[in-house]
A and B are shown apart, each in its own frame.
Chain A
Amino acid sequence: QKEVEQDPGPLSVPEGAIVSLNCTYSNSAFQYFMWYRQYSRKGPELLMYTYSSGNKEDGRFTAQVDKSSKYISLFIRDSQPSDSATYLCAMSAGDDKIIFGKGTRLHILP
């Protein structure tokens, strides 16, 4: 079992829909949870960073962490074509290593 599991997609949704992206993990030592967005041929961009269970909201993005279920989610409201990218979940146990999921390719259809 990999430490972090993420469905690679692709996931295609119509513009304006709510997008739900998810990751599961097996290492209970993970304390820090991140979501990165990566456009083609660019570096990853940090979208959300959290270190506790619960929800964190930033504009159209909501990150959700459920440590008891070892499950994290990213919700995108009112999705736009410009949200089309690869979304990488990432986690850390408190050292300088972060473990990435495989990334989910998202396509928002106009």
Chain B
Amino acid sequence: DTEVTQTPKHLVMGMTNKKSLKCEQHMGHRAMYWYKQKAKKPPELMFVYSYEKLSINESVPSRFSPECPNSSLLNLHLHALQPEDSALYLCASSHNTGEQFFGPGTRLTVL
């Protein structure tokens, strides 16, 4: 089973709201990732957790706050977002270098 699940599928939020995106994998993978993808662009890496510790933070604004409660779960907390943050947010997991498995994404719209 190479499935990564993400909830919700769609999210609409105002600029003053606080919301969270959730990601789950049960493949025993050691690393989990958050990406942001704009239309007709490749995914852009935001954060990497390896063995539940934040290992890469690509200088993402503090209005995005990742959390890894355990080896199977990854959250992305959102606060005071801007309309330009509207995008597809993708979660991925991997055990081997490069071999990342992506979830279906959460389509976020910030009004």
- CB pair A92 B97 closer than 8 Å: yes
Quote the shortest CB–CB distance from B48 to chain A (angstroms).
5
Range of interface residues on A (Cβ < 8 Å) = 20 to 34
B90 touches A43 (CB 8 A): yes
CB of B21 within 8 Å of the partner chain: no
Partner of A32, one of B56, B98, B101, B104: B98
Q: Total number of A-B contacts with CB less than 8 angstroms?
A: 63
Q: Is the beta-carbon distance between B43 and A100 smaller than 8 angstroms? A: yes
Q: Dominant SS at the B interface?
A: strand
> How many chain B residues touch A (Cβ–Cβ < 8 Å)?
27
Judged by a CB distance under 8 angstroms, whether A58 is at the interface is no
**Contact between A32 and B107, CB atoms less than 8 A apart:** no
Known: A46-B102, A97-B48. 17 other contacts (CB 8 A): A31-B97, A32-B97, A34-B98, A43-B4, A43-B102, A43-B105, A44-B43, A44-B102, A46-B2, A46-B100, A49-B99, A95-B97, A96-B56, A98-B45, A98-B98, A100-B42, A100-B43
B residues at A contact (CB < 8 Å): 2, 4, 6, 31, 33, 40-43, 45, 48, 50, 55-56, 88, 90, 94, 97-105, 107
- For this complex, 11 residue pairs linking A to B, each with C-beta atoms less than 8 Å apart, are A31-B97, A36-B102, A43-B102, A43-B103, A43-B105, A46-B101, A95-B97, A97-B45, A97-B48, A101-B42, A103-B42
